Structure 1
Amino acid sequence: MCILQEMTWSVILTLAFQSIGVVYGDLGTSPLYVFSSTFPNGIKDKDDILGVLSLILYTVTLIPLIKYVLIVLQANDNGDGGTFALYSLLCRHAKISLIPSQQEEDSNVSNFKLEVPSRRLKMASTLKSALENSHFAKVFLLFATMLGTSMVIGDGVLTPCISDMIVWISVAILIVLFIIQRFGTDKVGYSFAPILCIWFLFIGVIGMYNFIKFDPMVIKAINPRYIVDYFIRNKKEAWISLGGVILCITGAEALFADVGHFTVRSIQISTCTIVYPSVVLAYIGQASFLRKHADLVADTFFKSIPRPIYWPMFVVAVLASIIASQSLISATFSIIQQSLSLGCFPRVKVVHTSSKYEGQVYIPEVNFILMLACVGVTLAFRTTTKIGNALGIAVVFVMTLTSSFLVLIMIMIWKTHILLIISYVLIIGSMELLYLSSVLYKFDQGGYLPVAFATLMMAIMFVWNDVYRRKYYYEVEQKISPQKFKQIADDRKFCHIPGLAIFYSELVHGIPPIFNHYLANVPALHSVLVFVSIRHLPISKVPMEERLLFRRVEPKELNVFRCVARYGYTDLYNVQEPFEELLVKKLKEFLKDGCFIPQQTSNNGEVFEKQEELNDGLVDNENEFVDIQQELMEAEVQLEAIDKAWSSGVIHLIGENEVIAAKGSGIAKRILIDYAYNFLKSNLRQRGELFEIPRKRMLKVGMTYEL
């Protein structure tokens, strides 16, 4: 997603060019193997070619073009796509998150607001109420989101493996491909785009040449009657062959998942002007060739290349096959970043690879694991047939889940007319279900692979998210009350030392229980203390000026503050300036602004600012007046205290909690918390590493949570 608020056409066209090198490799190289996969036992009737071509044309038109490019891309979350983007839209419109994602103060974040039509439909409100009141529905939606994400990651593992049939060459190519990922989408896109532009030009021109030379009458495959005749003639065999036809749209889900690396408009332009016409011409040309050479179906693509350009096309085809996996690799980085920020994936390092485009990211740990998985699958299967069967299941499963989420968005958010929703379900939804039934038939022929991989990913996500939620509710129940904090402040045994202390926790409201544990061992309070909690909102971005939300904690003279640092799932830490510098700057702005805004004390002992600002300095209350001069003087004292504390030194207190199952817990809960979660946590990055806190000024405070 570009950081420019209003992009020029030059930027959009630049991104459209880059997207060709990243998004369409898999979709664009499908003509290499679709006809051979659809007719593994040869062509029995030449009219079957027309039936399959008709299936391909309608599939490529309805799913990648109409469904994804024209409809699904509109369901992006502030420029980001993927399963979690759809889930986040639903979470913002309805209270369906298992952890509260809608706090009163978050309503002021500009990106959190949804623009919806003023006309409310009864169906939308009924569905919204049903989802909000059903715990099963909330769990099921989160489960489906995780499953869809896991399947896309599985697709990212399988796609590179199908690029080449020579095993050891494939392994070498895969390793090189994953090594260059660290250079980022920007450079990879510029490097790969020229090659794929040549590829699309070649397959389009060759397709047109074959169409004119061999059998121009294949154009009558536009008539869907040939699909019906194909099924009547071949019955079960025709249904099974759908597993080969579906390969014509592998990579289509990357159109949506990769939109965060580019823009909606740039992907629409590149698809409609270059990719779709070239791919359609390629399939029409191959069908025309097969009408005269049905016996060459096993090697349709290369046999249909005119001899004078065979070797140049062969070289371009090999290069395009290598690039084919890029779309799903980039998509994997995007969706894992989203799931990470929403508490559904263990902590990993996210590297921002472009200073111009914020959505372009790289995750080293995930890249390494993907490389090992791809090499392992390639060495284990050694043929593309089984990998193709597995790929089909991953592709169709993700597409079906996307359609399910899209229908909910159509009803609840877009308020789409019921006839349009029914049309979508009957045409596109039924087509995807038909394809899904076909690919599941080959479950034992390699189709089990994405299911096994998705199960492993789901287990990791479930373990992390389940304990993440348990910790959240434990801290809410055990947090320090306002009365308890006042007792601590009045206790004379606590000494006051100079400096600014930043205490990190995951608790959004109130003071975390780990602070009481800290005071029991270190009876000292710094001159300025800020409790910082990191809050991940179910949106892609939070504007920098709305990032930090401050509150005072009584008593006022202690200079204790609460700060909620709000991030969207594509926001990165410490991009523009170190976090502590940003925090001090925004804290001082908060105090300055507070001079002119009356204060109220909430029922949890914190002081917050009213939003109204009066021109004459009077409070909007007939019985209360504010002495502006007094407020200014108090603010100056506090600002001076912050500057003095800042100059005395900053210490970062990291709350590190060890979690164990509570006494009396069942064996399943003990395995979940004591072994599975703690194993993941011990092998992953800690919070201090994510914020890049200097180790010399970092102090970890440990506490055991019995969940």
Structure 2
Amino acid sequence: MSTSTSRIPGVTEMTSEVALKNPEQSMEQVAEEFSGKRILRRFDSLDLESSTVPGRHGHGSKAVRWSVILHLAFQSIGIVYGDIGTSPLYVYASTFTNGIKHNDDILGVLSLIFYTLTLIPLFKYVFIVLQANDNGEGGTFALYSLICRYAKVGLIPNQQAEDQEVSNFQLDLPSSRQRIASVVKAKLENSQFAKFFLLFATMLGTSMVIGDGVLTPCMSVLSAVGGIRKATTEISEDMIVWISIAILIFLFMVQRFGTDKVGYSFAPIICVWFALIGGIGLFNFIKFDPTVIKAINPQYIVLYFQRNKKEAWVSLGGIVLAITGTEALFADVGHFTVRSIQISMCSVTYPALILAYSGQAAFLRKHNDLVKETFYESIPEPLYWPMFVVAILASIVASQAMISGTFSIVQQSLSLGCFPRVKIVHTSTKYEGQVYIPEVNYLLMLACISVTLAFRNTEKIGNAYGIAVVFVMTLTSAFLVLIMIMIWKSHILLVISYVLVISSVELLYLSSVFYKFAQGGYLPLAFAAVLMTIMYIWNDVHRRKYFYELDHKVPLGKLKDIATDTNLCRMPGLALFYSELVQGIPPIFKHYVVNVPALHSILVFVTIKSLPISKVPIEERFLFRRVEPKDQNVFRCVVRYGYTDTRSEDEPFEKMLVERLKEYIINDFWFSQSKLSNGENDGEMDVGFANGEDENNDVKDVDEEKLQEVLESEIEALDQASHAGVVHLIGENEVVASKGASIGKRFLINYAFNFLKKNLRQTENVFDIPHKRMLKVGMTYEL
């Protein structure tokens, strides 16, 4: 035995938990090694549940040193708070659109800003919503993925038992159970409407955040550049618009280099920005009117509404701009940690913003007529030009953060089958999640330029901005209530308190921003309508294709007949046959064999599957299963990715797949022999040697050296096939509406979906499949 293990390189190098750790192990020792392990049972779906990975760990379980937390807290200032930090540029101007009619109205508005900042960004997001992260990832998809893992509400039923064995798939559930959680879960799982509504809400929230990514650059850059009018009156509105457009074009042109290239300059810029607005705010507070501290009394809010009634309610659409970018607190938590964002928000961002708004309020108490240019007029003269430069830089940083967030969101949309395939480029080897999507970047640039040219000032853009911001916050609250009830199992009084305090405030703001629908508020809804249409078309046909393949998959018996057909030629090489079908063999395989009666010596059906988790560890990514009969060397492979995982050009996919397949062959071989040596055969799988001999009754008499030789012959066959060449077979499915389909269905499939498909990237471009080793297999699906 000791000499035979060196025959095939790689066999003794496997790091599997049960594979050839010790070449001197006997069959009894191997069987004993398996006896203490929980072996997942096999399913007819041909999905594999073979691997048990040592050293499991979840994202949230890692202990982070305080030095690292403080370093991340500093970095988060530049990435997370650019948007909310630049809000003082335009909040008072957007609130008092008709001027200040009563001096105490300033106190009422300041009080509203103070309590809004305290309730929404600080209390709701920093202390509650951040706890709903998905293994460290945040955003609308994180909330949706948590719900999908706890309740079977996905529209495509691709949950398998083996997926729950991924180390970060499990939820940390409290031990106590409440009846209301079970009732809500049952209602969601049994309601098709609820499943559609949850997906629809996720898509809507995604669309609104993308709309925010369009409006943030326009709003921030226009507001910052507009400050130059204080220095000279020769600058016209047209010049300000064109300067802003030039900055926007430059901003989008440098996206291809990635945020990593300028990442370390972001935090210092925003730190300087917060120091300046906080310091100037404190100066103005002391110089002009320290009595504005009275605004901490909420009675001024009541008096403000009593004096202004409807106008006060309408002005909420301007006040809500003080919390723009709050969703970035949650969406960007994956780049940092919960604790680091809590520290940076409480120690830097929140105090600086409160001082800035208080200082502007104190200035306005003495200069009611300067409300249109509150920010720049309140700056002391010696600091004007430094503040102008820093404001431009801060607006670029704020825009950059939202643009990067948009790329991440589109990347996550792909995993749910809710967005057409686009090319995702990783721009950083040091930081995960920093991606660049060329198509989306150019579309965002065109949208920003169009909005800037069409609206030309911040007032109308602010109306649109408010709707996008509050809509996403309201959707987040709705998802959070479900999580509090079903997963956290919070006390019902806490849930009711959250709804009454937080949700009611958000609904009040939402009603106000919708009032300005005709004054620009329609813009994010128009963006959302276009994006939702694209997402719905793609997702609907994606689901139809999945169920078509599920209904027409090749039966197991038929697959055996095909594999053992004597007229079928087997040629050297390894063929990877890609399919979207998670369960079973796709119908396009039968179509291929009928037209090309030849198969490679080893065939692997590969399915790229997305799980409702953020990331899948590389060691848990590949699942294999052997397709009987064993001597035909046909395997099923499910490659699992999280919604923030992508296949990058640096990932040696072929090499990883071959290595994992070797591990599986070794595991499967010794597992089979150990079961037989113990006299176990429960019908879960057919056992035979690579040469097809049925020796179930005599396997105990086979000496260990013979077993080693059999195993080595299988590994050698795999090595020879991979060296002979790897071919990627891609199912290129044309979809058409079935005969007799309705007009709406024909338009959806024949025109809308196929238009999107033809004008966007194909599978091989998305997954970086080498063209010289790619073969497309075409088939028409009548849906």
Normalised-by-shorter TM-score class: over 0.9
Q: CA deviation digits over 1:91-132, x for unaligned, max 9?
A: 000000101142111111111111100111111110000000
Please list, as runs of the form range in 1=range in 2, the aligned pairs for 1:610-625 lying within 5 A after superposition. Answer: none
CA contact (8 A) 2:425 2:648 kept: no
Task: Report the equivalent of 1:683.
Answer: 759
Measure, in 2, the Cα distance between the counterparts of 1:322 and 1:561.
51
SS of alignment partner, residue 601 of structure 2? strand
Q: Distance in 1 between matches of 2:752 and 2:681?
A: 43
Q: 1:175 aligns with which of 237, 246, 249?
A: 249
Deviations 1:663-693 (A, max 9, x none): 1111100111111111111111111122212
The answer to whether structure 1 residue 216 and structure 2 residue 216 are counterparts is: no
Q: Which of these residues, 445, 461, 471, is aligned with residue 535 of structure 2?
A: 461
Aligned pairs for 1:572-591 (under 5 A) are 572-574=646-648, 577-591=651-665
Instruction: Give the AA of the match of 2:726.
Output: V
Structure 1 position 316, deviation (Å): 1.6
Question: What's the counterpart of residue 244 of structure 1?
Answer: 318
Whether the 8 Å contact between 1:57 and 1:280 is mirrored in structure 2 is: yes
State the alpha-carbon separation in 2 of the partners of residues 527 and 384 from structure 1. Answer: 65
Aligned partner (choices 750, 768, 773) of residue 697 of structure 1: 773
CA positional deviation for 1:169: 0.8
Contact 1:529/1:561, CA 8 A, preserved across alignment: yes
Residue equivalent to 2:153: 96
Q: Which secondary structure does the structure 2 equivalent of 1:157 belong to? A: helix
Q: Post-superposition shift, 1:624?
A: 10
Q: Which runs of 5+ in 2 are unaligned?
A: 1-57, 227-239, 689-695
| Residue 123 of structure 2 is aligned to residue 66 of structure 1 | yes
Letter in 1 for 2:139: G
Aligned to 2:4: none
Which of 326, 344, 365 lines up with 1:270 in the alignment?
344
Superposition pairs of residues 472-551 of structure 1, within 5 angstroms: 472-551=546-625
2:181 to 107, 124, 129: 124
1:24 matches 2:81: yes
- Look up the match of 1:199: 273
Residue type of the alignment partner of 1:218: V
Matched, 1:77 2:134: yes
Q: CA deviation at 1:212?
A: 1.3
Match of 2:724 among 637, 648, 653: 648
Match of 2:670, SS?
Answer: coil
2:421 equivalent among 325, 347, 353 = 347
Q: Which moved more, 1:297-306 or 1:256-265?
A: 256-265
What's the C-alpha RMSD, in Å, of the aligned pairs? 2.3
CA contact (8 A) 2:288 2:366 kept: yes
Q: Deviations over 1:180-222 (max 9, x none)?
A: 2222233333122222111100000111111111211111211
- 8 Å contact kept, 2:602–2:721: yes
Counterpart in the other structure of 1:615: none
Task: Give the CA deviation at 1:603.
Answer: 8.8
Indicate how the Cα distance of structure 1 residues 693 and 365 shifts in structure 2: closer, same or farther if over 3 A, else same.
same
CA–CA distance in 1 between the matches of 2:434 and 2:311? 43
For 1:613, the equivalent position in structure 2 comes to none
2:383 pairs, out of 297, 309, 328, with 309
Match of 1:36 among 93, 102, 110: 93
Structure 2 Cα separation of the partners of residues 101 and 6 of structure 1: 33
Is 1:553 the counterpart of 2:627 in the alignment? yes
Shift of 1:21: 2.2
User: Are the aligned partners of 1:21 and 1:188 in contact in 2 as well (CA < 8 Å)?
Assistant: no
| Paired residue secondary structure (2:128) | helix
Deviation at 1:701, TM superposition (A): 0.6
Q: Given the alignment of the two structures, is residue 381 of structure 1 paired with residue 438 of structure 2, yes or no? A: no
- Mapping for residues 101-112 of structure 1, pairs under 5 Å: 101-112=158-169
- The residue number in structure 2 matching 1:139 is 196
CA distance in 2, matches of 1:622, 1:231: 88
The answer as to whether partners of 1:481 and 1:604 remain within 8 angstroms in 2 is no
User: In the TM superposition, what is the alpha-carbon distance from 1:365 to its structure 2 partner?
Assistant: 1.5
Q: Which amino acid aligns with 1:676?
A: A
**Structure 1 counterpart of 2:710:** 634
Task: Please tell me whether the aligned partners of residues 158 and 582 of structure 2 are also in contact (alpha carbons under 8 angstroms).
Answer: no
SS where residue 325 of structure 1 aligns? helix
Q: Distance in 1 between matches of 2:662 and 2:253?
A: 44
C-alpha spacing 1:628/1:96, structure 2 compared with 1 (3 Å):
farther
Judge which range, 159-168 or 3-12, deviates more. 3-12
What SS class does the counterpart of residue 377 from structure 1 fall into? helix
After TM superposition, list the pairs within 5 Å mapping 1:376-455 onto structure 2: 376-455=450-529
**Structure 2 CA distance for partners of 1:628 and 1:689, relative to 1, 3 Å:** farther
Q: Distance in 2 between matches of 1:133 and 1:626?
A: 54
Q: Take 2:650 and 2:349, find their aligned partners in 1: how far apart are those partners? A: 37
CA distance in 1, matches of 2:131, 2:88: 28
Match of 2:138, SS state, is coil
Contact 2:96/2:315 (CA < 8 Å) preserved in 1? yes
Residue 185, structure 1, aligned to residue 259, structure 2: yes
After the TM superposition, which of the residue ranges 44-53 and 301-310 deviates more from structure 2? 301-310
Q: Give CA deviations for 1:73-101 in whole Å, capped at 9, x if unaligned.
A: 11111222111111111000000010114
- Bigger relative contact order (CA 8 A; separation at least 6): 2
Query: How far apart in 2 are the matches of 1:628 and 1:94?
Result: 50
**1:311 deviation in Å?**
2.1
Give per-residue Cα distances to partners, 1:587-634, cap 9 Å, x unaligned. Answer: 0011112233237999998889xxxxxxxxxxxx99997968365443
CA distance in 1, matches of 2:203, 2:653: 31
Kept after mapping to 2: 8 A contact 1:440/1:447: yes
Q: Percent identity?
A: 70
**Deviation, structure 1 residue 364:** 1.8
Aligned partners of 1:83 and 1:149 also within 8 Å: yes
Q: For residue 660 of structure 1, what is the aligned residue in structure 2?
A: 736
Deviation at 1:650, TM superposition (A): 1.1
Match of 2:207 among 150, 153, 157: 150
* CA displacement at 1:41 relative to structure 2: 1.5
Alpha-carbon separation, structure 2, partners of 1:595 and 1:628: 15
| Structure 1 contact 553–605 (Cα < 8 Å) conserved | no
AA matched with 2:136: G
Instruction: Give, in angstroms, the shift of residue 2 of structure 1.
Output: 9.3
Residue by residue, what CA displacement relative to the aligned partner does 1:47-73 show, whole Å, maximum 9, x if unpaired?
111111000000011111111121111
**Cα distance between partner residues in 2 of 1:5 and 1:636:** 40
CA, structure 1 residues 471+205, in 2 after alignment: closer, same or farther (shift >3 Å)? same
Tell me the alpha carbon deviations over residues 429-473 of structure 1, each in whole angstroms, 9 at most, x when there is no partner. 000000000010000000001101100000000000001101111
Return closer, same or farther for 1:3/1:405 CA change in 2, 3 Å cut-off. Answer: closer
Structure 1 residues 627 and 543: CA distance shift in structure 2, 3 A: farther
Shift of 1:253: 1.2
Mark the CA change 1:21 to 1:634 in structure 2 (over 3 Å): closer, same or farther. Answer: same
Is 697-706 or 486-495 further displaced after alignment? 486-495
Please point out which of 748, 763, 766 is paired with 1:672: 748
Residue 667 (structure 2) aligned to one of 589, 593, 600:
593
8 Å CA contact 1:551, 1:606 repeated in 2:
no
- Report the CA distance shift for 1:282/1:167 in structure 2 as closer, same or farther (over 3 A): same
Q: 1:539 to 1:595 in 2, by over 3 A?
A: same
Which 10-residue stretch deviates more, 574-583 or 220-229?
574-583
User: TM-score normalised to the size of structure 1?
Assistant: 0.95
Aligned counterparts of 1:371 and 1:484: Cα–Cα separation in 2: 52
CA contact (8 A) 1:595 1:628 kept: no
How far did 1:315 drift? 2.0
Work out the CA distance in 2 between the residues paired with 1:397 and 1:628.
70
Closer/same/farther in 2, CA of residues 91 and 625 from structure 1, 3 Å limit: farther
For residue 170 of structure 1, report the CA deviation from its aligned partner: 1.0
Contact 2:649 2:768 in 1 (8 A): no
Alpha-carbon displacement from aligned partner over 1:386-432 (angstroms, at most 9, x marks no partner): 11100011111111011000110111111111111111111110000
Q: 2:429 matched to 1:372?
A: no
